[in-house]
Each structure stands twice: as structure tokens, then as C-alpha cells.
């Protein structure tokens, strides 16, 4: 029997506010343990939480960007459970009236667009961090707790189980990250845990509707990990079903080192969170006008930007998709072409040499040693025929090293392309004289051998000859 996987994601994203959701403690990452805590986030008796206005704004923005309906009446609830990373013994979250519901995200897999429905987005507080003193959790006699992260604002984005492959789940996660970055509500630094997902997966015979029993994997904090964990889990469940077994509903943990999922707890021990309305926080009422103001404040989102690059600049869907995946890259691209540099060349340089260099040196595009403006200037030098595209690589390397203007580099290094036909002709004559065999081959009908001759001329001119001129000259001389 063929099985189909049914996958849903709960993405938790930390919001980039200066302070926590219910108190004025700083949210910055990496502070010394327990230095960003106060009576409110430590849950000391008698304190009153007050909602950070920006958290609500950010959550509404995320709701709009993910095509949700914003609930004009929203409230907080207590989710009760005992765990030492939660000083109050409950997490302040939202239960039945979340800030946003009924949205969707369109993803692109294998050139096809698929709509993934977003069930809801709610606001909640993050928990603290447990540090184990022994080598592994099992040989620690005790655990240490740092409450700096307790109360850092989160939004949880819950999807419908609309994904069918690990790849779709990864692409969905990437798309949500991209949108949150565009609207500037989260830093989305995976390595700092700004974005993590709980992944649900079940299998059912292909062509059937009824959902199978699912397993949940918590705290997946990279795209690759999500894809790997799902692949493993789907295989594991398929094997059990094929052997005639039953899937147990349970929470599993993904062990990235071992490359497998392990059982954490089964449903019998499952939590009963006993949600109750949070009596210390009053409801949040949002008006149509407020929603409209926030909507107007949003930048152009990845999909719209991609369409624009395709329609106005004629880029392919693939190129436009890569460039608009990150807002920083899309903005860099706009800056390259704003002074008239060729769009296609700009796309090639951005996705090619620049991305490669950035990747090699582990740099963000925002900190690129080559500015978009200079790259644009360099591309225009290529277009005008001042330098060849081969020389452009040298100029680019120099710009990367020194940050100098391309014109200055070309001038200083004498890299200007030789367009003077007489000068090139001389080199062409020498090459023809020195290479009787390829010349004879070409004359004998092997047109490919002209490539070798062009190469020789380019080499002799140290790449400065205009390849077009070289080609024409060779062809005329070899008739």
C-alpha cells in the first residue's frame, strides 16, 4: 500500500522588541544568566503584568502578512504546567481568542504553487533555559535555570496539516521566516533560537481522508533539521504500518547527531493544560482603523516583490524567487539596478560571485564589502565595453578586498579593455601564425576550433581584448 504523509507545523518566533512581553526587562540575547529578570517575569506573588504595545502591533502585522483575519476582541489565557523553566507554573498564552486566525501562505515547490492554510497566530511568552551541570542530562544531579528568556515575546503560527512532503514543510518554514523578516518583526536568527518549530506528522493510505495517528517532534530549529526529522519519522511510521503495527500518539525528540527520532512521552502521560482566562490582563480590542494603519505600514512582501521583478524586469521565476527570498537581498538588487545597470547581469552577479563570496566568508549581504552601488557601476563598465566580463571578475575581487570604486581599480591597474582594432589585429595575426593546426582545422570545416583561437588571443591580451572584436577579426582573417 502507498502511504501519504500529512504534516502540520507550529512555528514559534521571538519578536524583536526591546523589552519582554509583560515587563520592562531587556530581551537582548547572550546576557549573563539571570540579569534580565524582575518580579514580574520571575512570577513573584503580587505583581501585575502589563502588555507591551509593540508585541500586539507585531503580532497583528504578522497576521496581516500571513493573510489572516485579525480578531478585534482578543485575550490572554493561562496554560498550566509544571516545569522549572516556567517560574509561574503557567505560561501566559492565548487559547480561544488568538490575535489572528484563518490565514494562508503560498509556497513554491517544483515550480508549482501550493497554498498552506494558517489556522491561527497567538501571542505568548517564552520560557527560561535549563542548563545541565553534568555531561548529559542523565548524570546531572541537578539542573540550573536561567530566566533571562522567560517572558520574551513569541508568536506561535499554527498551520493546518496541509503539507505532504518534508520538502513542502521546509519550504513553508523558509517562507514564513522570509515574511517575518520582511515585515521586520523578528530577527529570525535560527542559531539564537528566534525561530523554532514543532512538527506533526501522520501517515494515511493514499487516497483516503481519515487522518492517521500523529507523532509530534518539538523544538526543531533549522530547516534542514525539519526536513531530516520528517524524512526519518515518515520512514519509521511507514515501516510500522507495513508490518501491520499501530502508531502510538506521542511526542518524539529529534536527535540530530544520531539522525533519528526518539520517544519522549506518549499520550497517556500527555499534558492537560487546564487553560483559564488570565485575570491579570484585560482584553485587547483592535479597530478596523488600527488594522488599516498597520497594513499600510507593511513593506512589499516577497511574493509581490517577486512578481514585480518578473513583470517589470523580465527575470525568470527562479531568479526572482532567489533574490526576493530575503528582503536584504531584494533591496541590494534594487540598489544595483537603480542607476541603470543591466538587470540580467545584476541578477547573475548577485546570485553568482557575490553570493559565493559572502557564503565563503560567512557574511551577511548587509555587511558586504562590495556595495550595491559599486557593483552597479562595475556592471555598467561591462555593458559599455570598458572592461570585459572576464576582467570584471578581477575588478570584483579587488573591490571585495579594498572596497575601492570600480573605475579607480580599472584605471589604476590598467584593465581597460582593448577595443582598438589595430592593436587586437596584431595579436590575432600572431596567434594565427603560431597555431597552424587549429587554423587548418577551422579552414577545413571544424568551426569549433575558433574557440581555441579566441582563447589564445584573450590570453595574449591578458583578457583585455574585446571578445566580440576578436571573434569578428578571426573570422574575417580565416575565410
Partner 1 sequence: MKVSGKDVENVAGLSRLRITEDKMDKYLIEFNDFLEYVDMLQKVDTENVEPTAHVLPLQNVFREDEIKPSLDRDMALSNAPEKENGYFKVPRIIE
Instruction: Give the residue from 170, 85, 198, 76 showing the smallest Cα distance to 131.
Output: 85
Give the nearest distance from C-beta 131 to partner 1 in angstroms. 7
Give the nearest distance from C-beta 23 to Zn ion in angstroms. 3
Which DSSP category does 280 fall into? T
Residues contacting 61, CB < 8 A, separation 6+: 183, 185, 294, 297, 298
The alpha carbon dihedral of 427, 428, 430, 435 has a sign of positive
Number of residues binding to partner 1, judged by CB under 8 A: 56
380 binds partner 1 (CB under 8 A): no
* Number of Cβ atoms within 10 Å of the Cβ of 401: 11
Of residues 30 through 59, those in contact with partner 1 by CB under 8 A are 32-39, 42, 44, 50-56
Exposure string of 172-181, with b = 16+ CB inside 10 Å and e = fewer, is bbebbbbbbb
267 binds partner 1 (CB under 8 A): no
Instruction: Give the residue from 216, 169, 219 showing the smallest Cα distance to 190.
Output: 219
Select from 11, 41, 176, 220 the one that contacts Zn ion (CB under 5 A): 41
Segment interacting with partner 1 (CB under 8 A) among 1-9, 139-147, 355-363, 411-419? 139-147
Distance between CA atoms of residues 162 and 290, nearest Å: 31
Give the nearest distance from C-beta 58 to Zn ion in angstroms. 19
- Bridge pairing between strands 250-255 and 215-220: parallel
Site string for partner 1, 94-123 (x = CB under 8 A): ---x--------------------------
Distance between CA atoms of residues 109 and 175, nearest Å: 11
Give the nearest distance from C-beta 68 to Zn ion in angstroms. 29
- 155 in Cβ contact with 15 (< 8 Å): yes
Q: Residue 416 touches which of Zn ion, partner 1, none (CB < 5 to 8 A by kind)?
A: none
21 binds Zn ion (CB under 5 A): no
Angle between helix 166-182 and helix 327-337 axes, rounded to 10 deg? 60
Distance between CA atoms of residues 176 and 302, nearest Å: 10
Closer by beta carbon to partner 1, 264 or else 298: 264
402 binds partner 1 (CB under 8 A): no
Of residues 279 through 308, those in contact with partner 1 by CB under 8 A are 279, 281-285
Select from 9, 15, 23, 372 the one that contacts Zn ion (CB under 5 A): 23
261 binds partner 1 (CB under 8 A): no
Q: What angle do CA 253, 259, 261 make, to 5 degrees?
A: 25
Closer by beta carbon to partner 1, 144 or else 402: 144
266 binds partner 1 (CB under 8 A): no
* Number of Cβ atoms within 10 Å of the Cβ of 35: 11
Cα within 13 Å of Cα(414), Cβ side: 2
Question: Cα 209 from chain centroid?
Answer: 32
Select from 13, 19, 202, 449 the one that contacts partner 1 (CB under 8 A): 19
Closer by beta carbon to partner 1, 23 or else 427: 23
Give the nearest distance from C-beta 189 to partner 1 in angstroms. 19
Q: Residue 45 touches which of partner 1, Zn ion, none (CB < 5 to 8 A by kind)?
A: none
329 binds Zn ion (CB under 5 A): no
- 12 in Cβ contact with 153 (< 8 Å): no
Residues lying near Zn ion in the complex (CB under 5 A) = 23, 25, 38, 40-41
Residues lying near partner 1 in the complex (CB under 8 A) = 17-19, 23-26, 32-39, 42, 44, 50-56, 73, 75, 80, 82-84, 97, 130-133, 137-138, 140-147, 264-265, 272, 274, 277, 279, 281-285
Amino acid at each position: 500500500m502507498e502511504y501519504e504523509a500529512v504534516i502540520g507545523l507550529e512555528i514559534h518566533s521571538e519578536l524583536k522588541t526591546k523589552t519582554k512581553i509583560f515587563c520592562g526587562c531587556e530581551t537582548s540575547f547572550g546576557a549573563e544568566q539571570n540579569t534580565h529578570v524582575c518580579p514580574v517575569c520571575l512570577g513573584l506573588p503580587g505583581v501585575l503584568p502589563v502588555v507591551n504595545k509593540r508585541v500586539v502591533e507585531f503580532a497583528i502585522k504578522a497576521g496581516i502578512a500571513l493573510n489572516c483575519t485579525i480578531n478585534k476582541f482578543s485575550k490572554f489565557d493561562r496554560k498550566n504546567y509544571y516545569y522549572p523553566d516556567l517560574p509561574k507554573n503557567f505560561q501566559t498564552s492565548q487559547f480561544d481568542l488568538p490575535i489572528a486566525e484563518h490565514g494562508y501562505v503560498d509556497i513554491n515547490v517544483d515550480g508549482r504553487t501550493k497554498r498552506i492554510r494558517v489556522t491561527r497566530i497567538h501571542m505568548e511568552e517564552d520560557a527560561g533555559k535549563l542548563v545541565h551541570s553534568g555531561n548529559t542530562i542523565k548524570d546531572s544531579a541537578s539542573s540550573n535555570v536561567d530566566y533571562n528568556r522567560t517572558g520574551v515575546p513569541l508568536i506561535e503560527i499554527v498551520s493546518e496539516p496541509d503539507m505532504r512532503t518534508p520538502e513542502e514543510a521546509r519550504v513553508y518554514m523558509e517562507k514564513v521566516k522570509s515574511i517575518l523578516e520582511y515585515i521586520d518583526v523578528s530577527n529570525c536568527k535560527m542559531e539564537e533560537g528566534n525561530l523554532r518549530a514543532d512538527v506533526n506528522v501522520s501517515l494515511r493510505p493514499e487516497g483516503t481522508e481519515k487522518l492517521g495517528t500523529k507523532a509530534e517532534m518539538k523544538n526543531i530549529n533549522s530547516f534542514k533539521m525539519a526536513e531530516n526529522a520528517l524524512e526519518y519519522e515518515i520512514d519509521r511510521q511507514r515501516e510500522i504500518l507495513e508490518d501491520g503495527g499501530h502508531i502510538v500518539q506521542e511526542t518524539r525528540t529529534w536527535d540530530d547527531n544520531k539522525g533519528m527520532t526518539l520517544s519522549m512521552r506518549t499520550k497517556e502521560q500527555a499534558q492537560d493544560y487546564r487553560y483559564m482566562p488570565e485575570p491579570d490582563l484585560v482584553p485587547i480590542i483592535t479597530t478596523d482603523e488600527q488594522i488599516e494603519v498597520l497594513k499600510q505600514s507593511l513593506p512589499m512582501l516577497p511574493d509581490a516583490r517577486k512578481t514585480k521583478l518578473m513583470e517589470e524586469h523580465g527575470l525568470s521565476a527562479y531568479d526572482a524567487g532567489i533574490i526576493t527570498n530575503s528582503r536584504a537581498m531584494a533591496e541590494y538588487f534594487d540598489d544595483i539596478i537603480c542607476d541603470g545597470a543591466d538587470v540580467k547581469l545584476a541578477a547573475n552577479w548577485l546570485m553568482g560571485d557575490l553570493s559565493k563570496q559572502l557564503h565563503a566568508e560567512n557574511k551577511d549581504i548587509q555587511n558586504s564589502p562590495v556595495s550595491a552601488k559599486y557593483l552597479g557601476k562595475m556592471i555598467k563598465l561591462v555593458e559599455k565595453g570598458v572592461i570585459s566580463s572576464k576582467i570584471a571578475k578581477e575588478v570584483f575581487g579587488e573591490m571585495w578586498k579594498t572596497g575601492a570604486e570600480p573605475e579607480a581599480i580599472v584605471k589604476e591597474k590598467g584593465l581597460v579593455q582593448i577595443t582598438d582594432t589595430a592593436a587586437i589585429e596584431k595579436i590575432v595575426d600572431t596567434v594565427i601564425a603560431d597555431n597552424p593546426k587549429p587554423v587548418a582545422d577551422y579552414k577545413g570545416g571544424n568551426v569549433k576550433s575558433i574557440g581555441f583561437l579566441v582563447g589564445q588571443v584573450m590570453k595574449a591580451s591578458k583578457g583585455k581584448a574585446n571578445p566580440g572584436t576578436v571573434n569578428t577579426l578571426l573570422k574575417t582573417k580565416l575565410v
